[in-house]
Amino acid sequence: MAAKRKRGALAAGKAKRARSAPSAGKAAPEGGPRERSVPPQENNGIPPQEYSIPPPVSQGKWKNKERVLIFSSRGINFRTRHLMQDLRTLMPHSKADTKMDRKDQLFVINEVCEMKNCNKCIFFEAKKKQDLYMWLSNTPQGPSAKFLVQNVHTLAELKMTGNCLRGSRPLLSFDPVFDQEPHYALLKELFIQIFGTPQYHPKSQPFVDHVFTFTITDERIWFRNYQIIEEDASLVEIGPRFVLNLIKIFQGSFGGPTLYENPHYRSPNMHRRLIRLSVAAKLREKQQVKEVQKIKKKGTKVLVGEDPTEVVFETPAEEKPVEIQLVKPESKPIVKDKKKLRKIQRKKQKKLFRTEG
């Protein structure tokens, strides 16, 4: 059992410290640097000098309590599951949860985040077992953004030479276009708060060795992860990698008024429909070409008139006398079994060879 402190112990300790530190003139303010004057006896007649003690180095307190909930709906494939697991390993300030049922509404996620003590959320929504959507949200006030995820490659799939320590803090690199448009500026702040690992997080490492890059090309956001090599500060890709196609930005969390809608976005259903229409148009064109060729073949051919000069090179042949046979020609002997004739011929040949020998 620890000994109990007396009521007057703390006040007496403060009084002793104040007496033991003599001050020249006014006392230093509470919490500020202490000032001390050196007595002239120690300096041998040199006037007293004043110096200040610098404030202490930061204690490493964990102030930014950002926590990100990463989970998905039912019906995701193996690639999405691996991508979700890769993000959890790269973000030590993330938490996991069980898959959400399809029947539940999206605003239920705000309650799940509140139970998990999370203020940010990455939710993967799968539709038709082939389309993947990603929600990035600041719960429960908002805003939130919905993306279509394309070209997903995970850490296990890509054979890359890069590697980074588990739990290390990343650098976030953004394209200059993020500062030019207001909706991209909003997404940049959302990315910083979600993907940036808080300083002095208990599960994080105290150094930086990889970079998250967000590049805008072809009206899409391209995510890449690179390792920083200490020798020459070059970058080697680690993974995962994916492309985010922005759909909408909402004012609330998982809903609310629409702040921005991407005019260049085309839904996967429309994309597949256009592909089917293009294939059907090609087949229709081939059938039309075949029908035109059949009509040309069935059409009446134009008869060319007779050329009178064709008769010039015709030479009449000599007429042969017609002979009529009154006697029936002799019939050839019919051989029923051809194999016997061949055997007989072989025997005759063998006899000839013997006689000659």
156: domain CATH number is 3.40.50.10480
Is 336 a member of any domain?
Answer: no
The whole-number pLDDT of residue 191 equals: 95
Is 40's pLDDT higher than 60?
no
Provide the 10 A C-beta neighbour count for residue 154. 20
CA atoms of 275 and 266, how far apart (whole Å)? 13
The whole-number pLDDT of residue 22 equals: 43
Please compute the mean of the pLDDT values over residues 22-33 and round it to a whole number: 42
Which tens digit of pLDDT belongs to each residue from 285-333?
Answer: 999 999 999 888 887 666 777 888 888 888 888 888 888 888 888 777 6
The closest alpha carbon to 172, from 135, 139, 215, belongs to 215
CA atoms of 219 and 245, how far apart (whole Å)? 7
The whole-number pLDDT of residue 95 equals: 92
Q: Among positive and negative, which fits the CA dihedral 125, 131, 132, 138?
A: negative
The closest alpha carbon to 188, from 134, 249, 139, belongs to 249
Provide the 10 A C-beta neighbour count for residue 185. 14
DSSP letters for 12-80: HHHHHHHHHS--SSSPPPTTS--EEE--TTTTTTPPP-EEEPPPPPP---------EEEEEBTT--HHH
Is 319 a member of any domain?
Answer: no
CA atoms of 245 and 241, how far apart (whole Å)? 14
Range of the domain at 99: 68-270
Number of domains in the chain: 1
Is 200's pLDDT higher than 90?
no
Is 333 a member of any domain?
Answer: no
Which tens digit of pLDDT belongs to each residue from 216-225?
Answer: 999 999 999 9
What percentage of the chain has pLDDT greater than the value 90?
44
Structure tokens at 303: 């008869």
Q: How many helices (H) and strands (E) does the chain have?
A: 6, 13
The closest alpha carbon to 143, from 260, 70, 251, belongs to 251
The whole-number pLDDT of residue 1 equals: 44
**DSSP tag of 139:** T
Which tens digit of pLDDT belongs to each residue from 250-283?
Answer: 999 998 999 999 999 999 999 999 999 999 999 9
Q: What Rg do the C-alpha atoms of the chain give, in angstroms?
A: 47
pLDDT band at 204 (very low <50, low <70, confident <90, very high): confident
Which tens digit of pLDDT belongs to each residue from 129-174?
Answer: 889 999 999 988 889 999 999 999 988 877 777 788 888 889 999 9
Residues 6+ apart with CB under 8 A from 190: 136, 138, 143, 145
Is 354 a member of any domain?
Answer: no
Is 127 a member of any domain?
Answer: yes
Lowest mean pLDDT among 186-200, 221-235, 247-261, 330-344: 330-344
Is residue 227 a contact partner of residue 210, using CB atoms and an 8 Å limit?
yes
CA atoms of 208 and 235, how far apart (whole Å)? 13
Is 309 a member of any domain?
Answer: no
Is residue 235 a contact partner of residue 226, using CB atoms and an 8 Å limit?
yes
DSSP-based three-state secondary structure for 345:
helix
Which tens digit of pLDDT belongs to each residue from 73-93?
Answer: 998 999 999 999 999 999 999
CA atoms of 187 and 223, how far apart (whole Å)? 13
